[in-house]
Amino acid sequence: MQMVVFLYPGMTALDLIGPHELLSRIPDTTVKVVAETVGPVKTDTGIELVAEYSIDQIDSADLLLIPGGSETLKAMESEATLAWLRKIDATTQRTASVCTGSLLLAAAGLLHNRQATTHWAMRETLAELGAEVSTDRVVESGKYITAAGVSAGIDMGLTLLAQLAGEDFAQLLQLVIEYQPEPPFNAGSPETAPAHIMQLALQRRAETQ
């Protein structure tokens, strides 16, 4: 299987690294890391990831993975990126996104009238781009699989892993990475976060836009 992951400035590293940790371990899988141009790409926390290929060098994939990030809306302005997404998607068996990565897919016209999810703060934007927005953590619609915000990429990775390599292998890797979340707080979604925490999150978002 050929897995292609796409980098762009301002993406969130965990959106990619979480599912990559799982999916890259499928036997006989090769991973190609792609950006508009070859070289380092700075994430939204300043960590740099390196694209080994440019979009001009990659024209097919079995699995396409698109991360989200704080600069996704800017990435959506690139016609070159959107055209490339449409070209690659035409060849995939699975097309996946994490967090606001679904906005890129939707902007390319790939999620029109399909159920999809994204980070809770961008659900309205995803709907404006033609998707049927779900609040579920992982959403499947045909060959498309989308994950909600950031950490949901690990759940999506396990879901895909079970489909592509079997449930036993998925559970094995869940054990290997010791993925057994027990967060100290119940503030991981708008539906469960305390009202004052939700207000702080909205205030912070307004200040950074």
pLDDT tens per residue, range 6-20: 999 999 999 999 999
- pTM metric for this prediction: 0.96
Does the structure show a pLDDT above 90 at 206?
no
Q: Which residues are 89's β-sheet partners?
A: none
Distance CA 82, CA 93 (A): 19
Residue keyed to tokens 């060098």:
57
Does the structure show a pLDDT above 90 at 207?
no
Per-residue pLDDT tens digits for 32-80: 999 999 999 999 999 999 999 999 999 999 999 999 999 999 999 999 9
Per-residue pLDDT tens digits for 130-182: 999 999 999 999 999 999 999 999 999 999 999 999 999 999 999 999 999 99
Q: Given this model, what pLDDT does residue 17 score?
A: 97
Q: Given this model, what pLDDT does residue 98 score?
A: 98
Q: Given this model, what pLDDT does residue 175 score?
A: 98
Distance CA 136, CA 145 (A): 11
CA 120 vs CA 1, 68, 74, 203: distances in Å:
32, 12, 19, 14
- Give the domains, in start order, of the chain with CATH numbers: 2-178 (3.40.50.880), 184-209 (no CATH)
Distance CA 177, CA 46 (A): 25
Per-residue pLDDT tens digits for 97-118: 999 999 999 999 999 999 999 9
99, 105, 106, 165: the catalytic one is: 99
**pLDDT bracket for residue 205 (50, 70, 90):** confident
CA 56 vs CA 33, 44, 73, 110, 132: distances in Å:
13, 25, 22, 20, 31
Task: Let me know if 99 is a catalytic residue.
Answer: yes
